[in-house]
Each structure stands twice: as structure tokens, then as C-alpha cells.
Chains A and B, each alone.
Chain A
Amino acid sequence: MRGAPLPPRSPAPSAPDVDLSALPGVDPRWSRTLEAPASDGTRRTWHLLDGAGSLDGQEPVGTVLAVHGNPTWSYLWRDVVAAGVAGDADGRRWRVVAVDQLGMGLSDRRPKEGGDLWRLADRVADLGALVDALRAEQPDGWPPVTGPLVALGHDWGGVVVSGWAGEHPDQVAALALTNTAVHAPADAALPAALQVVSAPAAHELLTRRTDAFVRAAVSQVRPRPPADVRRAYGAPYRTTAQRRGVADFVTDIPWRAGSPSRPALERVAAGVSALGRGEDASPALLVWGTEDPVFGERYLRDLRERLPRADVHRVEGTGHLVPEDVDLGPLLLHWLSVRGVGDGAAAGPAPAAPVEGRPRALWAELEARSEDDSPAVVEMGGTAGAAPAVLSWRELGHRVAEVAVGLHERGVRPGDRVSLLVPPGADLTTALYACLRLGAVVVVADQGLGLRGLTRAVRGAGPRHLVAVEKGLVAAAALGWPGQRIGTGRLGALGARLCATTLPEVAAAGRRSALGGVDGGPAAGRPTLATLRLPEPDARADAAVLFTSGSTGPAKGAVYTAERLAGMRDAVAAAYDVDRGTALVAAFAPFALLGPALGAVSASPAMDVTAPATLTATALADAVAAVDATVVFASPAALANVVATGGVLDARARTALSGVTRLLSAGAPVPTALLRRVGELLPSASLHTPYGMTEVLPVTDVELAELAEAADEVEDGVLVGRPLAGVDVAVAPLDASGGATQQVSREPGVVGELLVRAPHLKARYDQLWVTEDASRLVETDGDRTVVWHRTGDVGHLDARGRLRVQGRTAHLVRTAAGVVTPVGVELAAQSVPPVEGVGVARAAATGVGPAGTQALVVVVETDPPTRRAAGAPAELVEAVRDAVRSVPGRPEVAAVLLVPSLPTDVRHDSKVDRALVGAWAGERLAGRPVPPPWTPGGRLRGLLPRGRR
């Protein structure tokens, strides 16, 4: 490579005159022209932004070929070119060559010879000719491109570069695509936005005679890019003549069945599928803006099917012009490094530690007990005195087998995603185990996410099928959730119209099918899990996508393989002594589902499972009595209501409850005082509370007795107990500014981000490659590589090996005196006795001001609740300040604010959104008396003035 300045380019024929040195983000040294033969038999001059222009002779580890779409130009990739020159964290530099397609940008603008316009096939072939020219020695002194290329494309540029890649698989190092589409199913109508610009009347007006289309492409980005950037996008498309290429591109859109470019598109699609096939498939990265009116989720699903090993990263809230919204350059470079692409790349990705041995299948108990007429699932009646609905092991096994076969008959295949929008109960249990047995991947997002969060989760997960109750069917139809719709039983007229079939019909089909394994047809008996002729799914294949609560940003899907779900079952069984013969009451949905896998009889009390606080003491006692339960699983909200309604229990109910030997309060932290009062109702029970998260549950467990004993210990954070058997917990110590390091420590007292390893840890986040990558900490210990999950929680291990949780990494307060973790501060504030009749019901600790000199602020929900947000009276401030000084590190509280309520997650009503509280407190303490932007229910009311969220 050469270090001397490169000669000035000679402009391409009829290209617009654009002064590149005046455009923000572009190094004019990148600008280059290059001649190559074109498909019309002429030679054409291409304009490129070639990072080699500023590599100053430094050898890159590889080359990225970046192709823009319509109506943009190579300017789209300026930050990626710059990122390549700057190099990744290890100093590996990439040469990024961004082309202007013919007729576009600053490339040759003369029309194609022969009267037609540049078609997709031309563009693919011409790009190939350009790559050949790039590889040749050029008289202008630019270094030739060598080695395989990383193909990068956006919009129609993704189609063109994919076409090139498909035709030159031996030249492809990797494929990286963002918001594009390589195939259009024959029945697909054009997306509405494209229908508008390609309608004959509008086409000419919008794309050519005016710059409406050009401007719309950039103005969609939120927040809107600066004016000079918007102008730069439009710079080569200022006149009607200059916009000819833009209009031609729209004319050539090959999505309509009769389009001349349709066959070319099908070749491109086949080429991509070939690149994605097999063990030696090209590494592929799909970065996707989810709010794209043109390239929607269906095109991402299509690409994922063609590139099943692709790393996918969906960016919620980002639109079409992804390179403008997302810092794509560093992301791409990091991904290339992780995937081992480029000269001298390190070995491949850190493997997710496989579970040793082959765990028992989740349906094994159901299969083993297909002749067992004892109860498996008992649902207590909704009204007093109603008979409980009882499903025996035999009956449940039949149903699961029938539905598994029936779903297969309906086209559900192993690996297909099936969204379950069914409240806990017999239908959900049946559908869940049927999917597990079939090898379909269940997508579970609960109503706690709210309709918007649920829509985002269901659409993002991309299910092919959807099993839903009436409400779910209506929402799916109204909000355009994808998937074949299957209704549960009991549907109304609307629901029945909205679904393709129902679970009873599916089960009936399963009964009739030969796959049920019952020779002689339905008359000979019903299929069981033992007779099924469906192949057993791979235990290492995906089995479930469970969504997080979304209390810290959009809900993330955690993907579990079958073996990791089995690991979760085994962890619960071991931690709580649940096995065949145990009878349990599950007032907390996830455990109701685990019952059949555990081999335990599970009873659901009469309650609205989506509203835990509807569980009464009587309903709990009835459920316990129905199965002689010894184990109870419930959430803190449910237990609070049990305590509140405990006064009315009669002697029979009290006797039933006294038979419970173990109670598990899960789902959210539980106040010790509440547990103690629960203990009065369940006198024989040991009271447990586990710590865990959607990504791995349970991690630790602690008993009330130990909590009570620890109450007087002067140690920061909430005691959550010891790691369970098979679970490894450590911390990544915080550095002085509160950042979590890459170290792994098990030293007592060292505060850091909590790290977890367990057989029941999620396999990965769903379609969130960046998040997944950032959530991993790879520890190399000699020749052993250990992968930890970074929980985002902060805490420490105490001298007795118990874990104490101190808050979230995102919620640290960075004061001049050091980093303050919020939980200890909150506990101290909540311990303050009422001052002049005003007590602290709940507190949130947060920081205002710049990191490193933040002021610690405590925002308080009072008892009785205050009517409006205000500063706390001086006496209360002093009491809180004094109490907080007892926390290790003696944090100093600057201010205490009172609010009618704190914003909490919808699912548990317990995790306070401290970041939101902090943003508001920042406004308030700056002297802007804005009301809190959340409602007493905890939901967001509107936007903060300065645009957080």
C-alpha cells in the first residue's frame, strides 16, 4: 500500500458536480473513479468512496464492498468507511469500498445504450465487472482489492450485492444486509409506501419531477439528521435530470409478478439461499430497523429462512435508513472480529457451553404415565362451590399427543415458531407440551407487557402460527400479528371467524392421523405420547422464546433450547424437592406450566392468573385441600392479597393450609414483613424466595429465617441467598467510574455486575446479536473457555457465599465521592419511621447531574400518598439523609422528592424504572417544575420535555 496522496479523480460523464469536501462526514481522499465494462457493451465510470484513500498505507485485514439503495448513494456508508479506517478495538482496519451505482450518485449518469433502463440483472453483472476492475492493478495507483469480500447492502443495494455474492460465492467472506429484500412471494402486494411512489400518476411526480422521494428517505430518520446531512443525501439528485436514476430504480422494482426483473430477483434469492446452506455457510449479519414501512418483518423472516445461521440484530424503533440511525460501522467490525472474518482473525465464536449428558425430555413424565388415571392438573372452579376441572395423566397425555400430531397436520414443523396467547390453564398446558414434543418453538409473551409491548414482541419473534383465545385472535387480526391463527375452544362468533382452526379441531385431526401411531384408526383408541410417530426433536434445538418484563427498555426474547428448559425443570425440582408424588399449588403461571414436566400434581386456585392480586386466602386453601398440596408457588402480589383476606378462613381451611411444608414466592422481591405474615397462615411451611430473571431462573434461594437473621447485618443490598446446586455466580468488578470490567471475581465483598452460569441459562437473546454479544463475558482460564451471562444486576457475594443484590448497572449513581448502588439507599430510606404522619412507602434512589459528580436523590412514594409531586419537608429529608448515611460508603443524599407513585414494570409492579425517575428528578431539581411523566398505575403518560425515550 502506498502512503502518498492519490491523484484527483476525473469526474464520471454527466455526473452531478458535488463538492465532496463540503459534505459532513466524508474524507475527500476517499473519492475515486474507476472504469469498468458495463452490460450494455460500453465502458462506464464508477464513483466510489474507497477507505484506502485515508488508510495511509496501513494494511487492512479485508475489504467491505458496500452498495447503497434508492434514492441514496455512497454517502450512506460514510461512517462505515470511516469506522473501517479507524479500525476495531484490536486495531484491525478494514478497507470499505462504497460504490455509486450506475445512473446514481456521482457515477456515470448516461442512460443505458439501447433505450431500456438499467435492470437488476444489469446491476448485478455490472457490479461484478467493477469488482474485477477493483482487483486489477490500476494506473491511478490505488491498491488493488485482494481476497474475499464482505458484501454489505441496504435497500435495493442489498439485492444487488446479494446477487453479486450469490454468483461469486468463492469471493464472499461474509454477507451483511440491512433492511432489504431478496425475494417477494408471488402473492405479495407492494407495501403501501411503494404503491404510492410507483403508481403511474405519482411515480413521475414524486421520484423525478420533484425531490419528494429523495427528501422523504432521509426525513424519516428520528431524530431528524442535521440539515447539512439531509442536503448531502440530496446533493446528486437536485435536478429532474439528475433524478432519472431514482425514477428508473423505482420502475424496475421486481416485486410484481410480471416485472421484467422478476427472474433476476429469483436468481438472487436462490443465490442467497445457497450461501446460507450447510455447515460452511457464509457468515451473515442482518441488522434490521423494525419501523420500516417498505422492508417489513416478512422480508427479515424470508432472509432468516435463507440464512438460518445468520446473526440477526433487530433495532426497535429504527426505520428504513438504518446506517443513519445505528452506528453500523463499529457494529460490523466487531461482528466480523467475533465471527473470525478477515486476515489473522482469531478463532471462531465462543461456543455456548452445551449441557452435559442428555436430559430427560420435558414430556417424559407424561409419556411414562399414559396409563395413569390419577390427577395431573386440577383447575379450581371460578365460582364458589363449582367443581374443579381435573385432567388425569392419561387424559393430558392423550391431548398432548393429539394436538402435537394435529399441529403437524396443520403444517406446524419442528423449528416453527408458535406464539401462545393463552392464559395459564389446561389449553395452555396442552398446547405447550404438544409444541415441545413436536419440536415447534413456543413464543411466550404475557399480557404484562401491555398491548404495545406484546405487539412488538409477537411481531418481532416472527411466529408462523399463533394459538390464542378470543382476545388474542382479535388483537392478532387487528394489529397484523403474523402467523396462522388457531383458536382455543370456547370462542365467540368473532373469534371463530378470525381463526383458521381451533385446538379441538386440531386434536380431532390428530386423533384421526396415522402419525398418532394408533393402528386401526380412532376406533382403536387415542394416540399417546408413547405411540406417536413424530420424530423426537433435537434437545439442542430452540424450544421456547420467553420475553423479559421490559422494565428496562423493550422486552427482549430469551431463547431456550429444550435441554435448557429441562435444566430449569431440574433446577426447580432439586431446589424445592418437587418430584413425582408431590402435590403443588401454582398461583404463579410459570410453575403451573412446569407441573407436568416435574411429574407433580398441580392445582391452580380460582383466580385471574393475569391479576395475581385476585388470589384470596380461601381460594388458596381450597386448591391446597383439593390435592393435599405440600408446596405452594405464588407471587408477592398474590401473597399480599392472601394475607389481606386471611381473616375469614375457617378451621377446615386453616387445617388444609397447615399441611403446606414449602412456599415459594417468585417473580419479584418480596418484603420480609409480608413473608412473616404469610408464615402465620402457613405455620408448617418453610418460606423461600428465589432470585433469578427471565434469562436464568432460579439462580439463588433464601429462606425467611435467614432473611430475618440477616436483617441487622450492616451490609449493602438485598440478601437473595446462596447459588443453587449447579449454578455458578461471580461478579465482574466495577471500576472507579462504575463501569463493569471484564474480570471475574468470587472474592467476598467485591461489588460488580453479577455473572451467572447454569445449565438452565437461556441459549441466547432472540435476534439481538449485539445485546447477546454484550451480555457475554468470556473467561479464559488456561485452555478452558467459560462463558458467563452478564445479568445487568449489581451486587456482591458476602463472606458466607451469599449473594446480595444492590441494583442495576444502568441505575448506578456516580457521585464525586464514588459509585453508589441504589438498593441499599432505598432500603435505608424505607426504614425511616413516619415523620409527622408521613411515612416512606417505597423509595427510588437515583442520580442527577453529570456522571462523576452526580447528586444522589431519593424519590419517595409516601404513606399516605401525596397528592402531587413536591420537595419533601425538611424533617423528612434529614431523617432520610441520616438513615442513608448508615449504608456502607456513607452516601450523602442531596434531595428527597415526594411523588404520588413510582413508575414500575407492568408485569410485577415491583421493579422501579429508576432511569425514568432520575430523568424526571433531573428536570425538577434543575428548577423546571414538570409533573412526573407517569401515571399512578406506573405507565408512561407522555414524553419528558427533553426527549428521554
Chain B
Amino acid sequence: MIARRGVVVTGASGMLGRAVARALAAGGTPVRTLQRSPSGLVGSGAGDVEDVRLDLAAGSPSALVQALEGAEAVVHLAAKVSVSGPWLEYRRTNVDGTERLLEAARAAGVRRFVQVSSPSVAHAGDSLVGAPAGPADPAGARGRYARSKALAERAALAADSPELAVVAVRPHLVWGPGDAQLVARVVERSRSGRLPLLGGGTALVDSTYVDDAADALVAACARADRDDVHGRALVVSSGEPRTVAELLASLCRAHGAPAPTRSVPAGAARALGALVEAAWAVRPGLGGGDEPPMTRFLAEQLSTAHWFDQRETRRLLGWAPRVGLDEGFARLAAAARG
């Protein structure tokens, strides 16, 4: 049985989930992780961590309630993260999974719930320049992932109540050592010469080093029931926007990969993305790999600004990044060297 003040972290097998679980445990909080595969933290010296292996979307409701029994708070990271794949899969994991988890949390008497979301839930493709966290907009969100996360965030915030305080936190572009998502793909694409800059790569983007994002989620978990915090959606980033070109170059350099230099016009990339998406709908795998070489979403992400006003987030969470980009890149390089 988990201790009374413990926290359940879903999706702890991913980079950010693992970092959250580790940070919580390091602070003396008993942690129970919840996902299909082992978190890799049990017995690793990370502290009081236990794994419960469960498929949020498929597990029985009672098993879910039982998994949350006695927990004070839930940090919900588990999600299908990709740029392709059928809508039903996104819906099942990201929307249905979240709704089931919220239901179980209520039933289990959980008091605080951190919905880990994404700035893309409020991004309709235009430039975000020092932007506040807009409301989640499933209709305007680009791509299936963003749409499903927008629905999930809405469901989570709708569940905010005196019994269960819910806050949505949207870490932006999280990267760090062991990242199978952003970093690995960027480096792999760069090595194979498939990482063009769009429009010269001068769009300014925010990003977040993984430990800083984890700290922010831990802070949100602690403060979720404060009057000025619950029911809110907060974007989290390092607050150090960089041009796409510089960010990609820094990620590549940390891995000894060449920085992208070739630039294609952003409009052409978007058109190409649309074409590839259409082609993949008929013949998945076209062009090699398990993901399309370009999508409209990716083209937009690489060619429009998206950086955020962090003042409110920092004030409400009482949090500020401890690592930051420069130190983050150094740690990335150290990890890459092994």
C-alpha cells in the first residue's frame, strides 16, 4: 500500500515522466508509477518508487482506482506522442485514457491532479510571440496529437472541483539526455541530411530542459490546490527563446552531428508536408522510416515562432529553471559521450 502522501506518475517510462518521478522521490515523496512498461526506476536508488504496470486505456476501472488508492496527487504524463498514426489511437490513449484516469482519481479520493499538456493544444499554426497560454482549442489545434491533447486538457480542467484540484501544465519542446522524441529524431535526421531549415530557421522558439520541466511539474503538483492555480493552464519553458536554427544546431552539436544549413522556403515545406501526409494516408511508410519525412505540423513548428510569456507561470508555480539551456546542452553532450 502506498503511503498517504504519495504521488502517482503516469507515463514514467518516458524521459519527462521518469524525471518527474525521480524528482518527487528525491524530495522524499513516495512515488507510484503507472504505465505499460517498467519505469526503470525501481531499485535504481531513485528512492521510494514502485511500478504498477497498467494500460490506462484498457485496464479495468477498478484496477485503475486501486492503483490510485491512497495517493494524494496524480501527475499524468502518459500519452501517445507522434506526428502520424490513426486518430483512434490518439483518442483512445490521450482522451479516453485521461477521462478514465480522472474518473478513477475522483473515486480513489485523490486531491490534486496535474494534467501534463502541450502548448500545441492552443496553437492554430500562426506565430506565438511572447504569448500567454490560450485556451485549448481542439478545432484549431494542428495534427492529431495536438487535437487529442486539447480534448484531454479540456476534460481535465472540466473535472477541476473542490474535491479534485486540477491544473494543466504545458511544457514546451522538452529535451534532454535519453530523449527518444525530439533529440533523437533531430540528430538522426541531421545525420542523414534530412533536416532542412525552413525560411532560414529564424523563427524564435522556446524549449525546456527536461529537469527544469520536471521541477515545474513537481511545483505544480504541490500547488495545484491553490486558489490562483487550480483550473488554470500554464505553459512552461526555459524562458530562453532561440532561433530554430540555433536550437537545432545546439542539439546536433551536443551529439557531434552536423548542424543543418540547407534552407528551404517555409511555404514549400508546408506544401510538401501536406503532400506527404496525403501520400501516407494511402501508403504508410513511403520514403522509408516509421514516420513521414515531413508533415504540415512539423513544417509549421519549424517555421513559425512559438515562445511564451513565462511571468505568470513562474509567479504562480514559484518556480524558475535551475538548469537552463546552456548547462542543458552541456549535460546533453556529456550524456551523448557516454
Contact = CB atoms under 8 A, between A and B. Distances in A.
Interface in A810-825: 816
B201 interface: yes
A141 to B, nearest CB: 48
A852 interface: yes
Interface in B104-158: 127, 129-130
B266 interface: yes
B202 A925 contact: yes
B311 A871 contact: no
A927 interface: yes
A895 to B, nearest CB: 5
Contacts of A924: 202
Contacts of B304: 926-927
Nearest to A816: B311
Contact of B311 (A853, A897, A929): A853
A895 B202 contact: yes
Contact of B259 (A853, A874, A927): A874
B299 to A, nearest CB: 11
A929 B199 contact: yes
A865 interface: no
Contact of B203 (A874, A892, A897, A925): A925
A650 to B, nearest CB: 52
Nearest to B203: A927
Contact of B202 (A816, A849, A927): A927
Contact of B129 (A816, A850, A871, A877): A850
A854 interface: yes
B295 interface: no
Contacts of A877: 246
Contacts of A193: none
B239 A816 contact: yes
A539 B309 CA distance: 56
A892 B127 contact: no
Max chain B C-beta neighbours (<10 A), residue from A853, A892, A924, A927: A927
A922 interface: yes
A874 B200 contact: no
Interface string A120-140: 000000000000000000000
Contact of A926 (B129, B200, B250, B309): B129
Contacts of B243: 871, 895, 925
Interface string B243-263: 101100110010000010000
Contacts of A34: none
A922 B253 CA distance: 27
Contacts of A816: 239, 309-311
B241 interface: yes
A929 B204 CA distance: 12
Interface residues of A, number: 23
A886 to B, nearest CB: 15
A852 B311 contact: yes
A894 interface: yes
B128 to A, nearest CB: 9
Contacts of B240: 892, 894
A918 to B, nearest CB: 12
Interface string A852-872: 111100000000000000110
Nearest to B302: A927
B174 interface: no
A927 B266 CA distance: 8
B80 interface: no
B130 A926 contact: no
A849 B309 CA distance: 9
B13 interface: no
A924 B305 CA distance: 9
B333 to A, nearest CB: 14
B307 interface: yes
A848 interface: yes
Interface in A562-610: none
A525 B202 CA distance: 75
Given A853-B309, A927-B304, A848 B204 contact: yes
Given A852-B311, A870-B202, A894 B129 contact: no
Given A874-B246, A874-B250, A925-B243, A850 B259 contact: no
B310 A895 contact: no
B40 to A, nearest CB: 34
B189 interface: no
Interface residues of B, number: 30
Interface string B165-199: 00000000000000000000000000000000011
A855 B250 CA distance: 19
A871 B130 contact: no
Max chain B C-beta neighbours (<10 A), residue from A854, A895, A929: A929
B45 to A, nearest CB: 36
A854 B253 CA distance: 28
Interface in A874-924: 874, 877, 892, 894-895, 897, 922, 924
Contact of B127 (A855, A871, A874, A927): A927
B325 to A, nearest CB: 10
Contacts of A895: 202, 204, 241-243, 246
Nearest to A922: B129
B173 to A, nearest CB: 15
B303 interface: yes
A854 B130 contact: yes
A850 B312 CA distance: 14
Contacts of B242: 894-895
Contacts of B249: 874
A926 B310 contact: no
A927 B303 contact: yes
A848 B130 CA distance: 8
Interface string A73-116: 00000000000000000000000000000000000000000000
A773 to B, nearest CB: 33
A680 to B, nearest CB: 42
B249 to A, nearest CB: 4
A927 B311 CA distance: 24
B204 A925 contact: yes
Contacts of A928: 127, 199
Contacts of B265: 929
Nearest to A856: B241
Contacts of A926: 127, 129, 203-204, 304-305
Contacts of A870: 200, 202
A112 to B, nearest CB: 58
B201 A849 contact: no
A925 B311 contact: no
A853 B127 contact: no
Given A855-B204, A894-B240, A894-B241, A848 B129 contact: yes
A928 B303 CA distance: 8
B232 to A, nearest CB: 18
A850 B200 CA distance: 23
A767 B253 CA distance: 59
A816 B198 CA distance: 28
Contact of A925 (B239, B250, B253, B305): B305
Contact of B201 (A854, A855, A871, A922): A871
Contacts of A871: 200-202, 243, 245-246
Max chain B C-beta neighbours (<10 A), residue from A848, A853, A854, A894: A853
Nearest to B201: A871
Interface in B288-338: 303-305, 307, 309-311
Interface of B: 127, 129-130, 198-204, 239-243, 245-246, 249-250, 253, 259, 265-266, 303-305, 307, 309-311
Given A895-B202, A927-B203, A929-B200, 7 more contacts: A816-B239, A853-B130, A874-B253, A877-B246, A925-B129, A925-B204, A929-B202
9 contacts: A871-B201, A871-B202, A871-B243, A892-B240, A894-B241, A925-B202, A925-B204, A926-B305, A928-B199
Interface of A: 816, 848-850, 852-855, 870-871, 874, 877, 892, 894-895, 897, 922, 924-929
What 5 A-B pairs are tightest by C-beta distance, nearest first? A849-B130, A927-B203, A926-B127, A927-B304, A853-B309
